[in-house]
Structure 1
C-alpha cells in the first residue's frame, strides 16, 4: 500500500476512511494516489496504520481510552480534531470539517459492511449535505452518490444501477434503462428502483422533480 499521496491541492476529492468493512487494496490505493487530504476516523486508525498509509487528519471523539497523541510522531505532520458532539456520527463530523475548509468533494471508503445500522446511517445521511459537499461512498460492490434533479452519464450496456429513494421521490423519468421510469414515484420501504440496468451503450439520463434520490452503480 502506498504510504503517501502525490496530489497536494484541493482539485481532487478528499478521502475519508471510516470503520466499516475494508475494501480491495487496489481500490484504496487508487483513491489514495489522487487524494489531496486523507481523513481517518479514530475507530479505524489502528487498521489504517497496519496498511502503512500516511494520514493528514485524525478525527473523532476519542472515547474508550483512545489516545491520538501516540500517532503524532509516526504520522507527522498530523492534524488531530477532537469532536465530542454525540448528536452526530464521526463521519458527519468529518463532512462538517471538510465544509469548514471549503473542500468541495470527498470519497468515502470503509463506510459500509459490518454493522447494518452504521451502513444504513452512513448511506442515507449524505442527503443532508446536498449543495454543501459532493459525497461518493465506495466499496468493492458499489459506488453511491446523491443525484441532482437532472443527471447524465455514459455507461456500457448491462451496467447494474439501483435507484434508492431516501423518503419519497416524485416525477422520476429515465432514458436508456432496462426498466423505464416515466413520471414515477419511489418511496423508501415501499417501492425502490433496485436492480435496474443500462439498456445499451450510451448516455443514461435521469431526472426527478423533488426528493432525495441515491444512485448506486453496482458490481455483481
Structure 2
C-alpha cells in the first residue's frame, strides 16, 4: 500500500487538478500512474503544463487575462470547456462535466491550501454529488471522502481518522476506533469526531443513519 493509500478501482477515476496548493510530485505521480482522464481548472493550467502532464480538458469561466484558445494550438489535443456560470464554482462545473460524460469516480488534487474559503467550499461541495459520483480529495496530509451509511475498511493500528459532519449527522456507530461511537450525533461547529484513531490492526466499521459524514484519513 502506498503512503497515500491510493487503491485502484475497477474503473479508473478521472483526475481533477484544481488551483489550490500543489501536492508533492510523488502523490501526483501515483494518481497519474494509470493515465486517467485529466481535467484542469482554469488558471492552474500553466502550473500543470510546467510539470509535463498531459491534459485532456481545460475548464473554467476564464475570467482572468489569458486566452484559453492558445492552448488548443500548443497542446493539441486538448478540449477547452468554457463555463461562465457564476452560480457554481469551477470545481462544481468540472464535476457536472464528468457526470455528463459518464464518469463514475474522480480523484481531486490541489483543492486545499492557499485560500481557506476555497478549501472549505471544495470539501463541502462533495456532499452535493454523493448519489452521482464517487469523489476523493487528496493532499499531502490527508484523504477526504464522504462516507456511505455503512462503511468498512482495513486500517493499521493508530491510523488517524476524523469524522467530520456537514451539518448534523445522527445515529453514528463505530467498531475498532479508539474513541468508540455508540448512537452518537455529531454537528459541525458543536461536536465533531476529529483526531480519532484505529484501536487495532483490522477492519474499522462506521455507520450512520442520517446526514453527510466526511471521513478524513490523515498522516504526518
- After TM superposition, the score normalised by the length of structure 2 is 0.94
CA distance in 2, matches of 1:36, 1:125: 22
CA distance in 2, matches of 1:42, 1:35: 21
CA contact (8 A) 1:15 1:35 kept: no
Deviating runs (4+, > 6 A) in structure 1? none
CA distance in 2, matches of 1:19, 1:81: 16
* SS of equivalent residue, structure 2 residue 74: coil
Return 5+ residue gaps in structure 1 as ranges. 1-9
* SS of equivalent residue, structure 1 residue 30: helix
- The count of corresponding residues between Structure 1 and Structure 2 is 211
1:50 aligns with 2:50: yes
Q: Shift in Å at residue 69 of structure 1?
A: 1.1
Return 5+ residue gaps in structure 2 as ranges. 1-9
* SS of equivalent residue, structure 2 residue 122: helix
* SS of equivalent residue, structure 2 residue 26: helix
Match of 2:99 in 1: 99
CA contact (8 A) 1:165 1:214 kept: yes
1:120-135 matched pairs, under 5 angstroms:
120-135=120-135
Q: Deviations over 1:6-53 (max 9, x none)?
A: xxxx92000000000000101001111224300000120111111111
CA contact (8 A) 1:13 1:107 kept: yes
* SS of equivalent residue, structure 1 residue 169: strand
Match of 2:140 in 1: 140
1:209 aligns with 2:217: no
- After TM superposition, the score normalised by the length of structure 1 is 0.94
Q: Shift in Å at residue 64 of structure 1?
A: 1.8
